[in-house]
Amino acid sequence: MPVLSGAGGRSALARGCSAVEITYYTDPLCSWSWAFEPQWRRLRYEFGSQITWRYRMGGMIADALKFNDPLNSISRPAHWGPQWFEVQQLSGMPIDDRIWLGDPPLSSYPACIAVKAAELQGPAVGEQYLRRLREAVMLERRNIARRETLLAMAEDIAGDRPPQAGLDLERFRVDLGGSEALEAFREDLKDVRYREIGRFPTMMLGSPDGPSAVIVGYRPYQVFCAALLSVAPGLQPLRTASDVSAYVSAWDRTTERELVEAFDLEVEVVKQQLAEAIRAGRLTGESAGVDGQYTYYRPSDDSIDT
């Protein structure tokens, strides 16, 4: 099973290829996983039904007060802030590192369990909820170790516009404190430990009748293309992003960095296209973050079919 860590070529997909199955090991508190969202979204958009995926929660931080990572000089919660700042600088994804000085999450376990509770209503619900948790902690300085925050994020997607996943809020409340979600998280932890996964994000790719590959850590999009080719040599995209409004609508809400990745364009060019779409009434820009220093791009109300 090769581990891919370098750049590779763009892949090409032939009809009738076996789908690639991806197991994504991650954690809601993992800043590198948040930084990886542009590449991950682009992969799903371009390859569509030819890939399937599932998430495994890594339990990255059991207790931040006891956490010790000499390699990254992290031995107390405040030390996470500089690392998050570095992630933002290197990846271009917006991150507010000040949460580690204000109300730091002292464990990622509650958020991991909450994702498994959402997944009990289906993988699409779990995925949408995981994304909302990432936004909450990375951009809004929300402490996702608190039950009230976990419930508030569930309320957000239960009433989202348009409702993408159909989360049942009352069921989520029950499942959040139930044994099934907890046991699902324990199974994820067992898998993580069995495979000796120590970095997030980590992705295992395989096909039913072919080889497998592992991608460890934050990597450029081209590395994914190389990984897909190694697993399914005939694979190529079903589509590529060609319209800013259509791409935003596919996700309902995106950051500027995600659009830069999807269109493989310079930031200023993407900004021009966004400005044109907003002037035309196809998109809206909504302030995000505690101080409104970030922007989400969403379809405008008039552009949503009812």
Per-residue pLDDT tens for 188-204? Answer: 999 999 999 999 999 99
Task: Give the CATH class of 3-194.
Answer: alpha beta
| Percentage of the chain lying above the pLDDT 70 cut | 89
Q: Which amino acid is at 25?
A: Y
- The model's pLDDT over 168-180, given as tens digits with 9 standing for 90+, comes to 999 999 999 999 9
Q: Where are the domains of the chain?
A: 3-194, 244-303
Mean pLDDT to the nearest integer, 156-161:
78
Task: Give yes or no for residue 13 having a pLDDT over 50.
Answer: no
pLDDT at 6: 28
pLDDT at 7: 26
**3-194 and 244-303 agree in CATH topology:** no
* 16 pLDDT tier (thresholds 50, 70, 90): very low
| Percentage of the chain lying above the pLDDT 90 cut | 79
Mean pLDDT to the nearest integer, 276-282:
96
Q: What is the pTM of this model?
A: 0.90
Q: 3-state secondary structure string, the chain?
A: CCEECCCCCCCCECCCCCCEEEEEEECCCCHHHHHCHHHHHHHHHHHHHHEEEEEEECCCCCCCCCCCEHHHCECCHHHHHHHHHHHHHHHCCCCCCCHHHHCCCCCCHHHHHHHHHHHCCCHHHHHHHHHHHHHHHHHCCCCCCCHHHHHHHHHHHHCCCCCCCCCCHHHHHHHHCCHHHHHHHHHHHHHHHHCCCCCCCEEEEECCCCCEEEEECCCCHHHHHHHHHHHCCCECCCCCCCCHHHHHHHHCCECHHHHHHHHCCCHHHHHHHHHHHHHCCCEEEEEECCCCCEEEEEECHHHCCC
Contact 26, 56 (CB under 8 A): yes
pLDDT at 108: 97
Mean pLDDT of the chain: 89
- Choose the CATH number for 244-303 among 1.10.10.10, 3.40.190.10, 3.40.50.2300, 1.20.140.10: 1.10.10.10
Closest listed residue to residue 64, CA positions, set 88, 80, 82, 81: 80
Cα–Cα distances (Å) from 4 to 7, 86, 226, 251, in that order, read 8, 23, 8, 28
Least confident stretch, 4-13, 40-49, 203-212: 4-13
Mean pLDDT to the nearest integer, 71-93:
87
pLDDT at 18: 52
- CB atoms closer than 10 angstroms to residue 1: 9
pLDDT at 193: 96
pLDDT at 164: 55
Task: Give yes or no for residue 251 having a pLDDT over 60.
Answer: yes
pLDDT at 209: 76
- The model's pLDDT over 97-138, given as tens digits with 9 standing for 90+, comes to 999 999 999 999 999 999 999 999 999 999 999 999 999 999
Residue 193, both tokens? 């430990």
Cα 2 from Cα 125, distance rounded (Å): 32
